[in-house]
Amino acid sequence: MKQVVLGVEISTTTYADVVARCEQWIQEARNIRVTGGAAPGRCVCVTSVHGIMTARTDCGFRKILNDADIATPDGMPVVWALRSFGHRAQTRVYGPTLMLHLCASAAERGHNVFLYGGRPEVLPTLQAKLIARFPSLRIVGMYSPPFRPLTPNEDLEVVRKLVDSAADLIFVGISTPKQEKWMSVHARKLPGVVMIGVGAAFDFHAGRVRQAPGWMQEHGLEWLYRLLVEPRRLWRRYLLQTPLFLPLWLMQLVGLLRHPTRPALH
């Protein structure tokens, strides 16, 4: 199921549900490939307050989130909103943690993993730490894109690299909204591949940036920790954009703010 939060359809899901869906999609794609066919590319977006607020002013981005196969509730304020709309048992499905769950599944089932994003110096460290944690994990390729749009020729080469790698799962870590837009465009170019946008997970798991303590994450204070750690990069997001979420959420809750829904949210 999906629940509309300020115009964005958020999946009411869990880590186990997302992992099971990804396993199913990968197996289906492999079965179809044997017959010479091609399964659709799949997109999983981990959606925080930042993503929802960005979608309010960017209708194209809002469509990308609403068209995603899964849009998980990545931040605690999003979880609290879902609970307030009747999904009492909803828990957080956080990008970095989801990445570890999917790596564990990939290692067990022999799925091929590709790492797209991050800094060039971070990727080898990330690869080494993931393999140390999941010795059977097959990382079939890595690519750190430049901090600019790729040229058509560069993008063609990247797609060729991804296809040649036979990746089943691509973890995309180039921040919101760039990673969601990238996945949306490349779902058509990478049939049968499951793409998951995991944001800062690459830096966290490589040890380049520390994650907020668990108690801060549980109480919805991760934004404060990240603002203190990376103020120059994140101050606009957390001081200008994110605070607007609370009053808008309350307006939707009491019926003062309504958003059209599609006929079926599933």
d(CA 258, CA 251) in angstroms, rounded, equals 9
Residue 106: name the closest of 128, 134, 80, 85 by CA: 134
Pairing of the two strands 2-5 and 8-11? antiparallel
What pLDDT sits at residue 239? 82
Residue 190: name the closest of 207, 166, 225 by CA: 166
Q: Tokens 């068209």 label which residue?
A: 67
- Hey, which bits of the chain come out as E strands? 2-5, 8-11, 42-47, 70-73, 112-117, 138-143, 169-173, 194-197
Per-10-residue mean pLDDT of the chain, 266 residues long, equals 96 98 97 91 96 94 97 95 97 97 98 96 97 98 94 96 97 95 96 95 93 85 82 79 89 86 50
What pLDDT sits at residue 24? 98
